[in-house]
Amino acid sequence: MDRLAFLLATGLARGLVIALFALSLVIIWRAARIVNFAQAAMATVAVYVAYAVVTWTGSYWLALVAAVVTGMLVGFAVERWLIRRVPRDNPLPGMIVAIGLVMILHSVIGILFGPRHVPMRAPFSREPLYVGDVAVLSPYDLFVLLLALGIVVALAVLFNRTTLGLQLRAAATAPEVSRLLGIRVPRMVTIGWMLSSAVAAVAVLLLIPTELGLNAHSADILFVHAFTVAVLGGLDSPVGAIVGGVAVGVLITLVTGFLGAGMAPIAVLALLTLVLLVRPGGIFAVKEARAA
């Protein structure tokens, strides 16, 4: 029982990181109808900048800000100077360009920093806290949990309660009508990329201290899990990304804890297969609107 409580709590923290990353994929999908295969590599670049900042200044908080800002800049640059020039009439060119970008970014990181994993310390202890005799979760897990929840709430407020959010949602689903209402749709698409890329950068920053360290490929598995989650939840559904992320995080932690680490990827793929068999559109997919 004690072990279960511990695994559930750490699984929740891990799941929220996956949820954040999946949410970033949903944001881009909704803004630009692109599955951004370069999301992990772009976020890793931002986290390298954060790593440089924490090395120079010693401040984790400045590094967090650097990750967000660099994430936004990378998102801006990739959308404006690359994706915008890709033909949009079918999804394949965008996907190929994104995969090409992954290769370029991996190579550049490799040339600059080499293949080693650079260690990045967590800003809080990773030793579990105890409630009575029961190990629950570490201060770092608690930090991850609170920050991830904070970001989710902030995004929900931005999208649902502000004028910018209203424009972002309208531009994403009805570009032509939005233009007729005076909304600058290309600008909204850029803002969508910037937001998405910043959220992904924070997710990767939160992930690194729980992994071997920072490396060009550090976020690859996170991308696979988050992509699974986004497909499970339906790429259009922010709620699906969050619920699915937490579910997959808890599943991975439970399977790793009870059956061994080797079983975790199999469990994730089994879940993906099962959901795709039962609900090919994703669990939270919105039913297609009927024509009037």
Applying CB under 8 A, the residues found at the interface with another protein are 163, 166-167, 169-170, 173-174, 176-185, 286, 289-290, 292
Nearest distance from C-beta of residue 179 to another protein, angstroms: 4
Nearest distance from C-beta of residue 39 to another protein, angstroms: 23
Nearest distance from C-beta of residue 192 to another protein, angstroms: 15
Cβ closer to another protein: 117 or 169?
169
d(CA 149, CA 212): 25
Cβ closer to another protein: 183 or 276?
183
Structure tokens at 15: 């799941």
Place of tokens 């994929």: 25
Alpha carbon 280 to chain centroid distance? Answer: 22
Beta bridge partners, 214, equal 118
Nearest distance from C-beta of residue 109 to another protein, angstroms: 38
Nearest Cα to 152, choosing from 279, 264, 12, 3? 12
Helix (H, G, I), strand (E, B) or coil at 21: helix
Cβ closer to another protein: 116 or 187?
187
Nearest distance from C-beta of residue 281 to another protein, angstroms: 15
Cβ closer to another protein: 154 or 166?
166
Cβ closer to another protein: 27 or 148?
27
Place of tokens 């923290």: 13
End-to-end CA, the chain: 54
Q: Are 27 and 192 in contact (CB under 8 A)?
A: yes
Cβ closer to another protein: 168 or 255?
168
Nearest Cα to 242, choosing from 231, 251, 233? 233
Nearest distance from C-beta of residue 238 to another protein, angstroms: 12
